[in-house]
Amino acid sequence: MKTCEKYKNLIEKYIEGTISNQHLAELKTHTEACKSCHDEFERCVLVQDFVKEALSSQTSAEQAEASIVARLSEEPKIRPAPIRFDTILYSGRRAAIAASILLIVGLSLGFALGMTAKSARTQLTAQVPISVGKIEGTVLVRHEGSDFWQALETGSNVHLGDTFHSAAKSVCRLEFEDESTIELNQNSMLVLKSFNGQTQFFLEHGECTAALESPHGPFFIDTPHGRVEALGTEFTVTVIDK
């Protein structure tokens, strides 16, 4: 049994792709004599083969290469923008000119808008790299500066200052670029207060569950009663009105 324990570990290493050739040969020899290890190892090989076979493409890698290279030649618009060291200074100067132009245009626009459309305050704030994943039931969103609630849809963009409200028996999941998620449970209200560097949400009422990918930067959930800082990877915050 003790010997089998050793070979079970080798099977785990085989799954991980970290087994050495010597250990693999040793494992194969053992499986010829041990039925339990033989079955386990065979299942493992079969699962790998099944996945590889079922997800294999009808187009071979060579055909795909030829087809994509042909498309790149046919469509000269598709070009990578190479960054070379000798052009960094030139790029920097270009960037400075572009920034100045943008600043002037921005100032002029800001001035013009301030003069003519003081009431138009429903401009969307900066979009953040969060997308709306699974939604069940009715979840509403209100952008900052707007008085209107609209139904949240899967794949919608998320902006700074957005307020999410989930109705009864409704949940929604917000997905971050690093695969972290925050799930808003039913009858809850959550506001995205700030993002860059310090992701900060305000849970006004209800419940939300965060599952963070590690390592993660500073991540806070404020509530009317105090602040919760993420130290681990999964936690749930509940605000009870008492």
Partner 1 sequence: MTTEQKQNDTGDQQLVRAALLGETSAFGAIVEKYWNMVAALALSKVSDSTEAEDIAQESFLKAYSQLSSLKDPSRLAGWLSRITIQQCSNSLRKTLRSKKALGCRITPVKELDYLPAMSANPGLTKNQVHFVRQTVKKLPEKFRTLIILRFVAGFSTVKIAEQLGKRPGTVRVRLHRAYKLLRKDLAPLLEEVGS
Give the binding site for partner 1 (CB under 8 A): 12, 15-18, 42-44, 46-62, 64-69, 71-73, 78-83, 131, 154-155, 179, 213-215
Nearer to partner 1, 36 or 48 (CB): 48
The CA distances from residue 205 to 17, 19, 161, 240, in Å, are 46, 51, 16, 7
Q: Please report how close the Cβ of residue 137 comes to partner 1 at its closest, in angstroms.
A: 17
Tokens of 210: 């965060």
Residues contacting 147, CB < 8 A, separation 6+: none
Nearer to partner 1, 17 or 114 (CB): 17
Instruction: Please give the Cα distance from 194 to 128 (Å, whole number).
Output: 9
Q: Please report how close the Cβ of residue 197 comes to partner 1 at its closest, in angstroms.
A: 18
Q: Which runs of E-coded beta strand occur in 82-180?
A: 127-136, 139-142, 150-151, 157-159, 163-166, 171-176
Nearer to partner 1, 29 or 60 (CB): 60
Nearer to partner 1, 171 or 239 (CB): 171
The helix (H) or strand (E) run that includes residue 193 is: strand 188-194
- Among positive and negative, which fits the CA dihedral 23, 26, 31, 36? negative
Nearer to partner 1, 84 or 242 (CB): 84
Q: Please report how close the Cβ of residue 224 comes to partner 1 at its closest, in angstroms.
A: 33
Peptide linkage before 215 cis (omega within 30 of 0): yes
Q: Please report how close the Cβ of residue 71 comes to partner 1 at its closest, in angstroms.
A: 7
Beta bridge partners of 229: 220
Q: Please report how close the Cβ of residue 75 comes to partner 1 at its closest, in angstroms.
A: 8
